[in-house]
Structure 1
Amino acid sequence: MPPPMNHAPSLPDVVELTKKLIAAESVTPARGPVFDVLEAALAPLGFMVERFISGEAPDGPVENLLAVRGNGGRHFAFAGHLDVVPPGLGWHSDAFKPEIRGGLLYGRGAVDMKGAIAAFVAAVAEDRGGTTSLIITGDEEGPAIFGTRALIDRMAERGLKPELCLVGEPTSVDRLGDMVKIGRRGSVNIWIDVPGRQGHVAYPHLADNPIPRLVRALAEIDGIVLDDGTDWFQPSNIELTDITVGNPATNVIPARAEARLSIRFNDLHRGDDLAARVAAIVHAHAPDAIVTPRVSGEAFLTPPGDFSALVSDAIAEVTGLTAELSTTGGTSDARFLSKLCPVVEFGLVNATMHKLDEAVAVEDLHALARVYAAVLDRVTAAA
């Protein structure tokens, strides 16, 4: 294994920077100290760092960071997030006190995705020319309303438009370098509220039970086959995620019944169209029902081409692996960034993300920094 990169004496080692980022507790929505750590690492490298707060409660406020170096030439962007999910109970060590045991660095965010951000900082220590930016939010693990979308708006105000964007999500499955994401399915959540009229179960003619209408609507929705998948995407799926009546009495017909469903869809569909299809079914069974959709993001695909080949070649150079191009998994902020330019996602092994005792192999941090450096070298050479 080649030695860790050391482009600039003033730059914290990739492991040490990852430790500092982990130690800055940043449960979503993240603000403050964790951004201080990243800014302190970027400013000596010549980046102009802008931080701003966006949004209000309950989904904010959220802090975002936009760092730019260079003015002209090819614009390459790296995107990611400093917020993390809550650690939960049962860790073998404090989730926000990074600790190395057996060659693994433990801590919330080690994999998703503070380690990748630290690796890119190490890789970008050498200024290769052109324009380089980091698009970093504190609101990816949450509603993602005031994060990357606000950063995109700020970039538009400043006339910044990257030509290529690499997102550092943990895409690897078994070994660093075995998978690259070139697309993601879209996501829409839908809340269904069917009103009725409360009454005594012995006098049903004096009441209106909403449950049968909701159940019939859900049965029809559950029977939908949206598609059989595409060349790059698995089939779209609809999943019922909650049914709530909240009726503690055995002799009362409830006044309302509610449900929630989630649709993950490929690029054959759009979120609004799917929401309208669900609403039509619900209203056919319950005309007075309230259907509330929230489209988290549309499906996107960066067709295999020069950019994915460039990233794959960099991975092969460092790891010796041929990366699988995939669109599997959940959503990421790449769904927003894909509107700007071609987007590819590549990062650490995702086996422990969101789990107790989240951990990254120390050697993987060094290797990822070398992959990112190799990507930057190829981007520069191709300019």
Structure 2
Amino acid sequence: MSDVLELTCELIARPSVTPEDSGCQALIAQRLSCAGFHCEHLRFGEVDNLWAVHGTDGPTLVLLGHTDVVPSGPREAWSSDPFAPEVRDGGLYGRGAADMKGSVAAFVIALERFVAVHPGHAGRVALLLTSDEEGDAIDGVRKVADLFRERGERIDWCITGEPSSTRVLGDLLRVGRRGTLSATLTVRGVQGHVAYPEKARNPIHQAMPALSELAARRWDEGYETFPPTSLQISNVHAGTGANNVIPGELQVLFNLRYNPNWHAAQLEAECEAVLQRHGLEYEVRWHRGGEPFYTPEGPLRAAARDVLASFAGAPPEESTGGGTSDARFIAPLGAQCIEIGPVNASIHKVDEHVRVADLEALPDLYQALIERMLVG
């Protein structure tokens, strides 16, 4: 069994359902300490974070990942125990195999090999892990980034190991992500009998024109490689369950995924202007999940394109699609951020898996990137 396959299996066997870490970071810290890394455990609330650094002066390259996983769902839905890793038909099966314990294990192997070959390398190379990426993402990298700001921690380049490939390893290079902004909107009316609408005020009827306007709005035409900003209504709830009662309140959940044309505060103001123009009596609670980030052409993006082309056999697609990742908290520190990882077809699904061949290629891929940035 290869080093990376063995370590990935060890990590999968630890049921680290978010925000639990289940000893994954302690295992990794022990290995990296033996390799000469300075390891710092940063616990905030119920969340474990690990910061492991090798080197002292010069630019800093960070490998960013998470040890938590989403719940497995019913055991009987899986072909094998989700927390008992199993190799079959050329794949490694288990919760977190692709998202992202395989990448984390590959990071560790790549770092061990790199410092063994280049003990006096220029700059710093580091690993940052959290157990709060799949959950609320409050006490994980978001909180670590706040700490780094306070103490002036420098990060120049960041490689996130999220599963980004679509068909074969290395066919996609993520060079940015959209921002995310969520809203919980409460519209107040007056409850009453449906036969006497003049004695009530229906918040559903009142809110529909405003919601239609928000949903239909063309927010922008996109930005660079980013798609246009999108607002999606995800939940609408009102009423008592009876068909003869006008509800007194309506609750609506919606989310905006937005490109660098916008900041969260601007979008909040635009949405509330629509609600006010329609005369609604409302409250809205906003949650800023993270601003968009984008890495333009530069040394990191060029190195990643060359390395991925050598592994995939063709230049990668360079994309800003997908949801969000913890890189959204690192980019505001001034870092250029990219995302490279295994095929994402099975993530968050029953029978999540990664191809063993891809997993065993990942340490070489990450090591090649580190060497391009810190050795030349």
TM value normalised by structure 1: 0.92
User: Which residue in 2 is equivalent to 1:315?
Assistant: 308
User: Which residue in 1 is equivalent to 2:208?
Assistant: 215
Match of 2:48 among 48, 58, 63: 63
User: Which residue in 1 is equivalent to 2:349?
Assistant: 355
Distance 2:33 2:192 in 1: 67
Task: For 1:376, give the aligned amino acid.
Answer: I
User: Which residue in 1 is equivalent to 2:23?
Assistant: 33
Does residue 1:172 correspond to 2:161, yes or no?
no
Residues 178, 226 of structure 2: 8 Å contact kept? yes
Task: For 2:52, give the aligned amino acid.
Answer: A
Residue by residue over 1:193-214, the C-alpha shift from the partner in whole angstroms, topping out at 9 and shown as x without a partner, is: 0111212222223222211111
1:328 is displaced (CA, Å) by 0.9
Distance 1:110 1:344 in 2: 21
Task: For 2:43, give the aligned amino acid.
Answer: I
1:371 is displaced (CA, Å) by 0.6
User: Which residue in 2 is equivalent to 1:278?
Assistant: 271
Does residue 1:96 correspond to 2:83, yes or no?
yes
Residues 25, 129 of structure 2: 8 Å contact kept? no
Residue by residue over 1:105-126, the C-alpha shift from the partner in whole angstroms, topping out at 9 and shown as x without a partner, is: 0011111111011111111113
Residue by residue over 1:212-231, the C-alpha shift from the partner in whole angstroms, topping out at 9 and shown as x without a partner, is: 11112111111201112233
Residue by residue over 1:16-45, the C-alpha shift from the partner in whole angstroms, topping out at 9 and shown as x without a partner, is: 111111111111112342222222332211
Task: For 1:335, give the aligned amino acid.
Answer: R
Distance 2:26 2:100 in 1: 17
Stretch of structure 1 that moved more, 35-44 or 262-271: 35-44
1:270 is displaced (CA, Å) by 1.3
Distance 2:138 2:237 in 1: 26
- Mapping 1:1-383, distance limit 5 Å: 13-55=3-45, 61-89=46-74, 90-125=77-112, 126-127=114-115, 128=118, 129=121, 130-340=123-333, 341-382=335-376
1:158 is displaced (CA, Å) by 4.5
Task: For 2:90, give the aligned amino acid.
Answer: G
Residues 87, 356 of structure 1: 8 Å contact kept? yes
User: Which residue in 2 is equivalent to 1:58?
Assistant: none
Distance 2:38 2:265 in 1: 38
Is there any run of 5+ residues in structure 1 with no aligned partner, and where? 5-12, 56-60
Distance 1:18 1:202 in 2: 64
Question: Structure 2 vs 1, CA of residues 101 and 206 (structure 1 numbering), >3 Å: closer, same or farther?
Answer: same
1:73 is displaced (CA, Å) by 3.0
Query: What SS class does the counterpart of residue 276 from structure 1 fall into?
Result: helix
Residues 53, 64 of structure 1: 8 Å contact kept? yes
Distance 1:327 1:151 in 2: 24
1:254 is displaced (CA, Å) by 1.1
Distance 1:320 1:216 in 2: 51
Identity across aligned pairs (percent)? Answer: 42
Residue by residue over 1:330-379, the C-alpha shift from the partner in whole angstroms, topping out at 9 and shown as x without a partner, is: 11111111112111111111111111111001111111111111111111
1:14 is displaced (CA, Å) by 0.5
Distance 1:185 1:43 in 2: 36
Residues 176, 347 of structure 1: 8 Å contact kept? yes
1:287 is displaced (CA, Å) by 3.5
Distance 1:24 1:354 in 2: 17
Distance 1:267 1:159 in 2: 25
Stretch of structure 1 that moved more, 312-321 or 126-135: 312-321
1:234 is displaced (CA, Å) by 1.1
Residues 172, 316 of structure 2: 8 Å contact kept? yes
Query: What SS class does the counterpart of residue 375 from structure 2 fall into?
Result: helix
Query: What SS class does the counterpart of residue 229 from structure 1 fall into?
Result: coil
How many residue pairs get aligned? The number is 367
Residues 239, 248 of structure 2: 8 Å contact kept? no
Distance 1:49 1:286 in 2: 56
Query: What SS class does the counterpart of residue 68 from structure 2 fall into?
Result: coil
Distance 2:19 2:277 in 1: 39
Residues 194, 286 of structure 1: 8 Å contact kept? no
Distance 2:356 2:279 in 1: 56
